[in-house]
Amino acid sequence: MNCPYGIQGTMRHAVKIGLIGGVVEVLLSLIGMVEAFSQRDIIANVISMGHTLLLVAAFFIGYLAAKRTPEAGPIKVLTNSFISGLLVAGLLALLVITGGLINLRKVFINASPLLYSLLTFGMGKGSGLLLLLVIGAITTFLAGLFYLAPNLLRRVLLISFGSIVCAGVLQDLLRPTFALWGPIAVINEWLFTANGLTIQGAIGLFILIATFFLFWSRKGKTIQTGFRRLPSASQRILKTVSILILVFVLLILPQVLGLFLSEVLTIVGLYVLLGLGLNIVVGYAGLLDLGYVAFFAIGSYTVAVLTSPEIASWGFSFWEALPFAVVLGIISGVLLGIPVLKMRGDYLAIATLGFGEIIRILVLSDFLRPWLGGAQGIGRIPKATLGGFEFSGPQQIYYLILAGCLLVAFVSLRLRDSRLGRAWMAVREDEDVAQAMGINLVATKLLAFATGAGFSAISGAIFATKIGSVYPHSFNVMISINILCVIIVGGMGSIPGVIVGAAALVGLPELLREFAEYRLLVYGAVLVAMMLLRPEGLWPEAVHRREFHEEEKEGEPELFSDLKSD
């Protein structure tokens, strides 16, 4: 075909992406996600969570179609986005038509009449399918306009609409939290209904978020410059006040959020502790460690053996057992590091993975059962106490985990800017060059393994006293993989990135337990999207940000490029 805009020309990308997007949306419908999510409204009686899922997926497909348009001009971009939307909606319409002719429930149990009603908006096949095609085309057409929009407008729209979706998804948690505060309780009634946001609440939230980011985009640099021009004494006062406010907020969080959210915070905090330790090994030194859960297990079992009366009557308290856990963790880190000093990359990952499995199998073995409890584990681990205060429930153990996170974060910050931290980063960039510059690779690598293992042992010790018992199945290889995902998604080498990554990959799934059936599916989709759209992480370190974007073409719009920190 010689037509420059034929199916083999620029429209080919729209057709390909549209078909892929349509297949994805059909699969989301057939596995039951759309029907399950539709039980909750984002905006009451306007749009459900299931329809939002389909719209977000269609919008993303339209954006990709616009982005992949060769020699993009505005007309071609919008045309490709429009075509991709028609194909996405067309495949959904084909699903509804096929379901009316063939009983698909013999193969796909979720291909129910309710699903077809949701896809046709309860309007029947005629007008419902037409509306489906119109909405699909309009959604992707708007995605093309979004692609062509200025950076500032794209950033504001993305964050504002994202805030509405997040508020709707987390409504069951936000409503009770807001209700605890007298003045905010009025806002709570204005913002939420029994199921979803109110229309005026959604519009108000959009205007509020958009206004804030517009103001900050125009005045933020001026405010930062003005702060730098203040006298040193004034800067110190403002920083001190900010730190005190942050500390106050962190201290009152468990009392404000309640029991369930405090439990979620403790789980996130444990992963932050583990992530900060692995960040030393992987993020700073560039050593891929997949057996990191072994040190977590060593810390837990050390505290369990020394404090629990089930195995031996050592009679140690948590604080007396904690130093032993840290020391054993450090020794284990050194013992792991010695045989793998010459290994790099995939070989190092496989070796460390084997170390983690060795520890798990040893704990399960009959030989060590009299000391470690075998498959039955160790119970009756006493709670940590401090001056008569017992860290018993989530609202109490939160403070112990917070103290551990602050301590480990402080040590990590100091190490990052130290001579040793710079040596780790040199090893991460190029071991041969680092050795040629006089860096002792043996000592540097062993210190990285030992430091990360010590931090992991602290987390394991707190985990043991929090749960009150330890079992071998709590320390499988998936823990190591999850922690690695946390620091990759957050940003390797970035301490704030570890916190953000733990909140995104651990906190959000815990908050959405009602959709646990689709948890791993969404988890995997998020990881794939992150690697494609923002491989440097949500809050990357400056060096990694430069590495990932040094070859990026100037002026090329990226979906998340505007969210990079300054």
Query: If DSSP codes are grouped into helix, strand and coil, which group holds residue 23?
Result: helix
* Burial of 486 (C-beta count, 10 Å sphere; 0-12/13-18/19+): buried
pLDDT at 350 over 70: yes
Of all helices (H) and strands (E), which one includes residue 225?
A: helix 199-229
Counting Cβ atoms within 10 Å, is residue 313 exposed (0-12), middle (13-18) or buried (19+)?
Answer: exposed
How far apart are alpha carbons 566 and 548 in whole angstroms? 15
Domains and CATH numbers, the chain: 1-148 (no CATH), 239-563 (1.10.3470)
Judged against a pLDDT cut of 60, whether residue 8 lies above it is answered with no
- Are 310 and 381 in contact by the 8 Å Cβ rule? The answer is no
Q: Say if residue 475's pLDDT is above 70.
A: yes
Q: Among 40-44, 309-313, 410-414, which stretch is predicted with the lowest mean pLDDT?
A: 309-313
With a CB cutoff of 8 Å and minimum separation 6, the contacts of 380 are: 308, 309, 310, 468, 469
Looking at residue 377, its amino acid is G
405 in Cβ contact with 276 (< 8 Å): yes
Residue 384: CB atoms within 10 A of its CB come to 24
How sure is the predictor about 70, in pLDDT bands with cuts at 50, 70 and 90?
Answer: low
Q: Band of the pLDDT at 130, cuts 50, 70, 90?
A: very high
pLDDT per position as a tens digit, 211-262: 988 888 777 677 767 767 778 888 788 888 888 898 888 888 888 888 888 9
Which residues touch 98 (CB under 8 Å, ≥6 apart)?
104
Residue 308's φ and ψ, nearest 5 degrees, are -80, 140
Lowest-confidence region among 246-255, 321-330, 393-402, 513-522: 513-522
Query: Are residues 497 and 543 in contact, defined by beta-carbon separation less than 8 angstroms?
Result: no
- Label residues 129-147 b or e (16+ Cβ within 10 Å = b): beebbebbbebbbbbbbbb
Contacts (Cβ under 8 Å, ≥6 apart) of 48: 37, 38, 39, 40, 41, 42, 118
Q: Which two tokens stand for residue 234?
A: 């004034």
Helices (H) then strands (E): counts for the chain: 24, 4
Given a cut of 90, whether residue 84 has pLDDT beyond it is yes
The whole-angstrom separation of Cα 17 and Cα 29 is 18
Cα atoms found within 13 Å of the Cα of residue 526, Cβ hemisphere only? 19
Q: Which two tokens stand for residue 364?
A: 């399960």
Residue 549's pLDDT is 61
Residues 428-472 pLDDT 10s: 888 889 989 999 999 999 999 999 999 999 999 999 999 999 999
Higher pLDDT among residues 296 and 240, named by residue: 296
For all residues of the chain together, what is the average pLDDT? 86
The arithmetic mean of pLDDT across residues 266-291, rounded, is 92
Q: Does pLDDT of 299 surpass 60?
A: yes
- Name the pTM for this structure: 0.84
Other C-beta atoms within 10 Å of 254: how many?
Answer: 22
Q: Region 503-530: what's the mean pLDDT?
A: 80
Nearest alpha-carbon partner for 50 in 62, 41, 59: 41
Name which residue leads in pLDDT, 560 or 202. 202
Q: How far apart are the first and last CA of the chain?
A: 48
Mean pLDDT of 109-129: 89
Whose structure tokens read 């977590």?
Answer: 296
Residue holding tokens 């800017």?
417
At 183, list the tokens. 């003045």
Tell me what percent of the residues of the chain surpass a pLDDT of 70: 92
Q: Is the pLDDT of residue 5 over 50?
A: no
Please tell me the predicted confidence (pLDDT) of residue 560: 40
Q: What is the DSSP string of 288-353?
A: --S-THHHHHHHHHHHHHHH-TTT------HHHHHHHHHHHHHHHHHHHHGGGTT--HHHHHHHHH
Higher pLDDT, 260 or 294: 294
Select from 461, 443, 457 the least CA-distant residue to 328: 457
